[in-house]
Amino acid sequence: MQAKLEHYKIFKAVADSGNISACAKELYLSQSAVSQSVKILEDSLGVRLFSRTSRGVMLTADGNTLYEYVSSALSLLEAGETRLGESKNLVRGELKIGASNTLTESYLLNILHEYHKLYPGVRVKILNGTSKRVMNYLNSGIVDIAFATTNERDEHFESYMCFKTHTAFVAAPDYDIDFDKTYTLKEISKLPLILLEKEAGSRRFLEDCFLKHGLRLEPEIELASYELLISLAGIGLGVAGITEEFSQAALKAGSVKKLKLSETLPDRAVSMLSMKNTEASVSAKKFMDLVIS
């Protein structure tokens, strides 16, 4: 294929110049090499591409037909090479990231800002979803990188742990509850709980932790938005199960207050995931470098 591509390039150059001798000089080839290339192409296609004139050569009808396709194909190849070069140097390109709204806002925002300053030509797409959903995006090739909260190892993914997270239960400071008391998980399970919907990874994690103690969680309020957990707890509608690392602003502001627990719940890890045995794009590698640095 490579050899035939060279013949097509020489064919176009001859057609553009209209003279084999002039073409040979332009391509730094011998005249016989150019003539031989044209002949090989004509023999392989079974048609005559050029007719001789007193001034050089001109395309035949078949030659004109082929010229249109060759010109278009070579232009597309050149455009592709240019685009690859631009992507390699991050003059332009695309990066697709899968992450939850909460992770994007609380962790990725500053990294995204820095990345955009360094590589403004790269178009960044963010697909939001639960940890399970963004891992499915990654496995399906929809995103280049995924950020997920999980303690599970997956043989399909390369994993880099970004930070650990810790679960807490919070309520409004004036909520009718004793903040000096140390609560057992059984006592927590009987409170009016505000939790994320069942599809959320943190909800499944909580349920697993309580089930290990023979307890079932039956929340009064289930939400799709993490931000609403804090807001509804803050106005006294119940006790919210939250991730401390994503709730620092509310905890520092005092809009919610932590309950003391007698049992320590296991920590979890927020990890950056990429596909194993798959070469990441240059744009993805640069973003991963910023996360790791």
Q: In whole angstroms, give the CA distance from residue 234 to residue 220.
A: 15
| pLDDT at site 261 | 96
Q: Which residues contact 153 (CB under 8 A, 6 or more apart)?
A: 159
Fold match between 2-88 and 167-266? no
The answer on pLDDT for 217 being more than 90 is yes
Task: Determine whether 264 is exposed, middle or buried from the number of CB atoms within 10 Å of its CB (0-12, 13-18, 19+).
Answer: exposed
Q: Domain locations in the chain?
A: 2-88, 93-164+270-292, 167-266
| Three state DSSP letters for 203-214 | HHHHHHHHHCCC
Q: In whole angstroms, give the CA distance from residue 257 to residue 250.
A: 9
Mean model confidence pLDDT for the chain = 90
Query: Tens digit of pLDDT for each residue in 20-58?
Result: 999 999 898 999 999 999 999 999 999 999 998 888 899
Quick one: average pLDDT of 263-292? 90
CATH class of 167-266: alpha beta
- In the numeric block, which tokens belong to residue 210? 């309580």
Q: Which residues pair with 145 in a beta bridge?
A: 97
Q: Which residues contact 102 (CB under 8 A, 6 or more apart)?
A: 226, 227, 243, 246
| pLDDT at site 87 | 58
- In the numeric block, which tokens belong to residue 59? 């395309």
| pLDDT at site 271 | 94
Banded model confidence at residue 171, pLDDT cuts 50, 70, 90: very high
Quick one: average pLDDT of 61-65? 92
CA 33 vs CA 1, 11, 64, 118: distances in Å: 18, 12, 22, 48
Quick one: average pLDDT of 237-241? 97
Name the DSSP letter for residue 255.
Answer: S
Higher pLDDT, 152 or 178: 178
| pLDDT at site 178 | 96
Q: Which residues contact 14 (CB under 8 A, 6 or more apart)?
A: 20, 23, 34, 38, 50, 57
Quick one: average pLDDT of 103-126? 93
The answer on pLDDT for 151 being more than 70 is no
CATH of 2-88, one of 1.10.10.10, 2.130.10.10, 2.40.30.10, 2.40.50.140: 1.10.10.10
**Percent of the chain whose pLDDT exceeds 90:** 68
The SS3 assignment for 183 reads: strand
Please say whether the beta carbons of 49 and 11 come within 8 A. yes
Q: Which residues contact 214 (CB under 8 A, 6 or more apart)?
A: none
CATH class of 93-164+270-292: alpha beta
**Percent of the chain whose pLDDT exceeds 70:** 95
Q: In whole angstroms, give the CA distance from residue 87 to residue 168.
A: 44
Quick one: average pLDDT of 194-219? 93
Task: Look at the chain and count its residues.
Answer: 293
Query: Tens digit of pLDDT for each residue in 71-88?
Result: 888 888 877 776 676 556
